């Protein structure tokens, strides 16, 4: 009995100390967001005041278009998620279910392409989109549609790869049955496969959403106008730019933006782990 | 449903959608062509063609599924990769950004000098005989004339209308521009040369003054050289994107153009000490950083997984708290950590009562980077390790215990080796990811601290990718050619690492 207690107590010790390590920065942000001093100082562990000043600032200060940033992030990440899953699942379906010449070469090529870190080609993307801007200012550098297209292309490799892994694990009996009933491949895809795979597609769409939401550097290069920015870029400028060291509103803004992401993440934990095991890694 | 998909509605939908996309693409093709972006125009045109063939013929069914993905991948991944390869063969940097044709025009336009006496006139922009003309007032000599690009006509002072400053504002056979015309006059007038005397012409300086100038540099198309008309020296193409004097390589004409220099960007990496030395330092730190991150995150994650591998009280609560760092948007957590490491106000120094200048000292900055990445990364290995621990057959551990092995021996001899074998592809993938962990470095330290004095742009915590970014965008001289060459070398390294990891996982699959 005593031995068991001993064994469990080291487990709790490890659990508690590492939990404190992971909670500390988060706790600090929460108390900073409710403090009126506007700094990220640790004055005491128990907050002395609860002020909503920072939250009000986000919504009432015209110099901080927080809601516009949030809308931009939602629109861009949402479109990338939906479109990349529709387009990616078609390719994944073909890789997984159709027999054709060059299938193996195709998979190997895809593997190589999805390994290319998008950030390495960033100067090329920049120069290309600068040229596109010259003849089509609506979709070139500095525009949200342009950024969306770049994200969509960049997400394609990883998403097809991830989806292919998931699709391989869905039994093929139903679409084979549909084939016997005389359905064409395109019909099988839309009417049998997509409804059947919709939970998986939703998971990949949400993963893609989180990934795009988190993307920083392309968004920063692309979106120069205050009104065009995404949350990640907007909030970064808060503490780096003209609002130098304005931690209060930054903390409030980060918390509001993180809550939905954290909720999505925690509810998808199981799939995320298996998806990450399938090839892509964060952190 | 089946009926709907087979029916005319679906077909009509397909036709409308494809026509719409094709129409947009054709419009873009045309404007790209008009702007002389031939490669982009060709790609867009080809896209329309491929879409039509794929979706209106029965040439290949798999292609119907692949085409949208392939097109996007080609445009925004493969295209940029190929472009990176191309750029890496060019002398493509600040001062050498434009094409040769544009450079020649600019050198000619800038290759003028003002008259030594510094004569300038008040002028009025207008139209005379249907062409752009200026009405010039030589107030000192009370002379007035109308000058166009090919003629100059003097006017009797009695015929001109003067304003209160004595500047002619109207004259016979001359119509001054209205204010609304002036607004658009810039492109029409600013580059024109209006006749004065001999070699000298009048160049506009704004809309109300003209400076007497003459051409100094003249392009000689037959020999592809620039001639200095004043002293007769000849500038030739030096093969590296500039016109220079044959006996003085440093005397170059600005601007230059992007010229092919083939493998010079690559050879520079290995031979030019100014490029090689910072790069080697950055490379070593990149490897140290990625290795340290993988080791620390894995060790902490594994420790947690082992500790929580038993259904102890509150395990679910621990689990939800422990994945929080992983669930938070990383951009925000990195920025928060950046604030916590602030020397004066930061929570870290307050907590430990220290006064460390974290981001000013190279070693403390490196420690901070690894510590923050530990926080960001350990939940991943915790989740993965807990999953893998379940996969280790319990018979194995029981057998070892029966044979008299103590828990530590069981862990070292059985659990850890098996776990490492299962997780090695993921450890390698994590290494490859952190090798290019741009966001962390960029947002936390910006690559710093760096020595401002020697003008070196590489900082103590710069990893290869953040250093490359600085070369391409971050400093006063942007060298896209060199940055592209380094990018490709990084890609080869990372691809090799990833493929190695993948082969390991393949080996594993064949055993299980």
DSSP B29-52: HHHHHHTT-HHHHHHHHHHHHHHH
Is residue A115 within 8 angstroms of chain B, CB to CB?
yes
* Mean predicted confidence (pLDDT) in A89-112: 88
What span, in angstroms and rounded, lies between the C-alpha atoms of B23 and A177? Answer: 39
Is residue B297 within 8 angstroms of chain A, CB to CB?
yes
ipTM of predicted assembly, 2 dp: 0.89
Contact across the interface for B83 and A100, Cβ inside 8 Å: no
The burial of A30, by beta-carbon neighbours within 10 Å (0-12 exposed, 13-18 middle, 19 or more buried), is given as middle
What span, in angstroms and rounded, lies between the C-alpha atoms of B446 and B475? Answer: 13
Contact across the interface for B328 and A125, Cβ inside 8 Å: no
- For an interface test with A, the pick among B38, B44, B54, B65 (most A C-beta atoms closer than 10 Å) comes out as B65
Domains (range + CATH), chain A: 2-51 (no CATH), 66-277 (1.10.3720.10)
* Contact (CB, 8 A) for B423 and B316: no
Half-sphere exposure of residue B167: CA atoms within 13 angstroms, side-chain side? 15
What span, in angstroms and rounded, lies between the C-alpha atoms of B343 and B320? Answer: 32
The CATH number of domain B268-511, selected from 1.10.760.10, 3.50.50.60, 1.10.1200.10, 1.10.3720.10: 1.10.3720.10
Half-sphere exposure of residue B329: CA atoms within 13 angstroms, side-chain side? 28
A283: pLDDT strictly greater than 50? no
Q: What is the DSSP letter of B414?
A: I
* Mean predicted confidence (pLDDT) in A239-263: 81
Nearest CA in chain A to B433: A281
| Count, residues in chain A | 283
The SS3 of residue B391 is helix
Q: What is the DSSP letter of B242?
A: -
How would you label A107-123 residue by residue, b for 16+ Cβ within 10 Å and e otherwise?
eeebbebbbbbbbbbbb
A279: pLDDT strictly greater than 80? no
pLDDT tens digit sequence for B357-415: 999 999 999 999 999 999 999 999 998 898 888 888 888 888 988 998 888 898 898 88
Extents of the domains making up chain B: 2-87, 112-215, 268-511
Between positions 184 and 243 of A, the ones with CB within 8 A of B are: 184-187, 189-191, 210, 213-214, 216-217, 221, 232, 235-236, 239
Class of domain B112-215: mainly beta
* Mean predicted confidence (pLDDT) in A32-45: 76
- For an interface test with A, the pick among B30, B59, B325, B336 (most A C-beta atoms closer than 10 Å) comes out as B336
Beta strands (DSSP E) in B338-472 are none
Helix (H) or strand (E) segment spanning residue B190: none
| % residues pLDDT > 70 (chain A) | 89
Give the pLDDT score at A9: 87
- For an interface test with A, the pick among B4, B66, B437 (most A C-beta atoms closer than 10 Å) comes out as B66
Nearest to A76 by CA among A84, A66, A64: A84
Contact across the interface for B310 and A11, Cβ inside 8 Å: yes
Give the pLDDT score at A281: 37
Long-range contacts from A22-27, C-beta under 8 angstroms, 24+ separation:
A22/B321, A22/B322, A22/B324, A22/B325, A22/B375, A22/B379, A23/B321, A23/B324, A24/B347, A25/B325, A25/B333, A25/B336, A25/B337, A25/B340, A25/B375, A26/B324, A26/B325, A26/B328
Return all residues near B114 (Cβ < 8 A) that are at least 6 apart. B211, B212, B213
What span, in angstroms and rounded, lies between the C-alpha atoms of B150 and B413? Answer: 94
Q: What residues of A are in contact with residue B308 (Cβ under 8 Å)?
A: 11, 14-15
Give the pLDDT score at A273: 65
Query: How many Å lie between the alpha carbon of A237 and the closest alpha carbon of chain B?
Result: 11
| Count, residues in chain B | 512
What span, in angstroms and rounded, lies between the C-alpha atoms of A185 and A193? Answer: 10
The SS3 of residue A73 is helix
Contact across the interface for B80 and A125, Cβ inside 8 Å: yes
pLDDT tens digit sequence for B263-272: 999 999 999 9
* Contact (CB, 8 A) for B142 and B157: yes
The SS3 of residue B214 is strand
Helix (H) or strand (E) segment spanning residue B234: strand B234-237
Bridge partners (DSSP) of residue B124 are B135
Nearest CA in chain A to B325: A22
What proportions of chain A, in percent to the nearest 5, are helix, strand and coil? 75, 0, 25
Contact across the interface for A120 and B62, Cβ inside 8 Å: no
How many CB atoms are located within 10 Å of the residue A136 CB? 21
The SS3 of residue A117 is coil
Contact across the interface for B439 and A216, Cβ inside 8 Å: yes
Is residue B337 within 8 angstroms of chain A, CB to CB?
yes
DSSP B324-335: HHHHS-HHHHHH
With both helix axes pointing from N to C terminus, report the angle between A66-97 and A53-60 in degrees, rounded to the nearest 10: 80
Q: Report pTM.
A: 0.87
The SS3 of residue B90 is strand
**Region at B417 (left for phi over 0; alpha for psi -120 to 50; beta for the rest):** alpha
Give the pLDDT score at A275: 56
How would you label B37-73 residue by residue, b for 16+ Cβ within 10 Å and e otherwise?
beebbebbbebbeebeebeeeeeeebbbbbbbbbbbb
What span, in angstroms and rounded, lies between the C-alpha atoms of B13 and B19? Answer: 10
pLDDT of chain B along its 512 residues, tens only?
Answer: 444 455 678 888 889 999 999 999 999 999 999 988 899 999 999 999 999 999 988 888 899 999 999 999 999 999 999 999 999 999 999 999 898 999 999 998 888 888 888 888 989 888 888 888 899 998 888 889 999 888 898 888 888 888 888 888 888 888 888 888 887 777 778 778 899 888 889 888 888 888 898 889 999 999 999 999 888 889 999 888 999 998 887 888 889 999 999 899 999 999 999 889 999 999 999 999 999 999 999 999 999 999 998 888 888 899 889 999 988 999 999 999 998 998 877 888 888 888 889 999 999 999 999 999 999 999 999 988 988 888 888 888 889 889 988 888 988 988 899 888 888 888 988 998 999 999 999 999 988 898 777 778 889 999 999 999 999 887 778 899 999 999 999 999 988 888 888 777 765 554 43
The burial of A69, by beta-carbon neighbours within 10 Å (0-12 exposed, 13-18 middle, 19 or more buried), is given as buried
Bridge partners (DSSP) of residue A221 are none
Give the pLDDT score at A2: 57
Averaging pLDDT over each range in A41-50, A238-247, B239-248, which range is the top one? Answer: B239-248
What span, in angstroms and rounded, lies between the C-alpha atoms of B401 and A176? Answer: 50
Pairing of strands B248-252, B161-162: unpaired
């Amino acid at each position: 009995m005593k031995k068991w207690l001993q064994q469990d107590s080291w487990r709790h010790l490890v659990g508690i100390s590492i939990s404190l390590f992971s909670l500390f920065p988060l706790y600090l942000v929460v108390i900073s967001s409710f403090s009126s001093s506007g700094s990220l100082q640790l004055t005491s562990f128990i907050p002395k005041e609860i002020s909503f000043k920072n939250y009000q600032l986000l919504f009432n200060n015209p110099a901080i278009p927080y809601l516009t940033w949030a809308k931009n992030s939602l629109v861009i990440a949402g479109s990338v998620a939906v479109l990349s899953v529709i387009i990616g699942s078609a390719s994944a379906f073909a890789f997984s279910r159709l027999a054709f010449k060059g299938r193996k070469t195709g998979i190997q090529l895809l593997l190589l392409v999805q390994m290319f870190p998008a950030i390495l080609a960033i100067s090329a993307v920049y120069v290309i989109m600068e040229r596109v801007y010259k003849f089509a200012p609506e979709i070139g550098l500095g525009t949200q549609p342009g950024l969306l297209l770049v994200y969509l292309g960049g997400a394609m490799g990883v998403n097809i790869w991830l989806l292919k892994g998931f699709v391989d694990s869905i039994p093929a009996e139903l679409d084979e049955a549909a084939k016997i009933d005389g359905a064409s491949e395109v019909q099988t895809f839309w009417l049998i496969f997509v409804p059947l795979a919709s939970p998986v597609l939703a998971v990949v769409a949400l993963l893609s959403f989180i990934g795009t939401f988190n993307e920083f550097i392309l968004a920063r290069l692309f979106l120069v106008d205050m009104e065009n920015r995404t949350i990640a870029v907007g909030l970064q400028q808060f503490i780096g730019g003209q609002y130098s060291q304005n931690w209060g509103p930054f903390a409030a803004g980060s918390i509001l933006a993180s809550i939905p992401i954290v909720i999505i993440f925690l509810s998808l934990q199981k799939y995320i782990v298996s998806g990450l095991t399938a090839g892509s890694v964060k952190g | 449903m089946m009926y709907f998909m087979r029916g005319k509605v679906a077909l009509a939908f397909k036709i409308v959608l494809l026509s719409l996309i094709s129409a947009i693409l054709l419009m873009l093709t045309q404007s790209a062509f008009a702007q002389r972006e031939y490669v982009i125009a060709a790609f867009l045109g080809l896209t329309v063609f491929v879409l039509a063939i794929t979706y209106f013929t029965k040439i290949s069914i798999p292609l119907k599924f692949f085409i949208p993905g392939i097109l996007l991948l080609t445009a925004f991944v493969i295209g940029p990769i190929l472009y990176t390869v191309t750029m890496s063969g060019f002398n493509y940097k600040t001062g050498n950004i434009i094409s040769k044709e544009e450079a020649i025009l600019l050198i000619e336009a800038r290759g003028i000098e003002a008259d030594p006496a510094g004569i300038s006139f008040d002028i009025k922009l207008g139209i005379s005989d249907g062409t752009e003309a200026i009405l010039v007032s030589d107030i000192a000599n009370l002379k007035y004339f109308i000058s166009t690009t090919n003629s100059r006509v003097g006017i009797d002072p009695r015929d001109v209308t003067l304003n209160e400053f004595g500047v002619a504002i109207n004259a016979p056979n001359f119509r001054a521009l209205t204010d609304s015309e002036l607004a658009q006059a810039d492109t029409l007038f600013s580059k024109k040369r209006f006749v004065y005397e001999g070699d000298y012409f009048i160049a506009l300086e704004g809309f109300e003054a003209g400076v007497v100038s003459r051409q100094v540099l003249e392009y000689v198309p037959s020999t592809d050289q620039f001639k200095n008309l004043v002293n007769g020296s000849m500038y030739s193409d030096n093969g590296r994107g500039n016109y220079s004097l044959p006996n003085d390589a440093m005397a170059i004409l600005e601007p230059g153009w992007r010229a092919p220099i083939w493998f010079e960007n690559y050879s520079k990496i290995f031979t030019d000490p100014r490029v090689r030395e910072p790069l080697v330092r950055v490379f070593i730190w990149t490897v140290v950083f990625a290795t340290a991150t993988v080791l620390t995150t894995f060790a902490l994650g594994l420790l947690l997984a082992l500790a929580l591998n038993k259904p102890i009280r509150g395990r679910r609560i621990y689990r939800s708290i422990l994945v929080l760092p992983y669930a938070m948007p990383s951009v925000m957590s990195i920025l928060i950590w950046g604030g916590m490491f602030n020397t004066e106000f930061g929570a870290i120094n307050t907590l430990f009562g220290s006064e460390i200048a974290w981001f000013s000292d190279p070693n403390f900055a490196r420690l901070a980077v690894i510590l923050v990445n530990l926080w960001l990364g350990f939940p991943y290995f915790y989740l993965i390790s807990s999953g893998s621990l379940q996969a280790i057959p319990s018979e194995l551990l029981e057998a070892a215990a029966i044979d008299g092995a103590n828990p530590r021996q069981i862990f070292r001899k059985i659990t850890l080796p098996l776990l490492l074998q299962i997780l090695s592809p993921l450890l390698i993938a994590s290494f490859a990811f952190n090798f290019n962990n741009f966001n962390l470095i960029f947002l936390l330290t910006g690559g710093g601290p760096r020595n401002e004095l020697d003008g070196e742009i590489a900082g103590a915590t710069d990893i290869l990718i953040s250093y490359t970014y600085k070369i391409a965008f971050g400093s006063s001289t942007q060298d896209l050619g060199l940055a592209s060459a380094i990018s490709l070398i990084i890609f080869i390294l990372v691809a090799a690492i990833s493929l190695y990891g993948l082969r390991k996982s393949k080996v594993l699959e064949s055993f299980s």
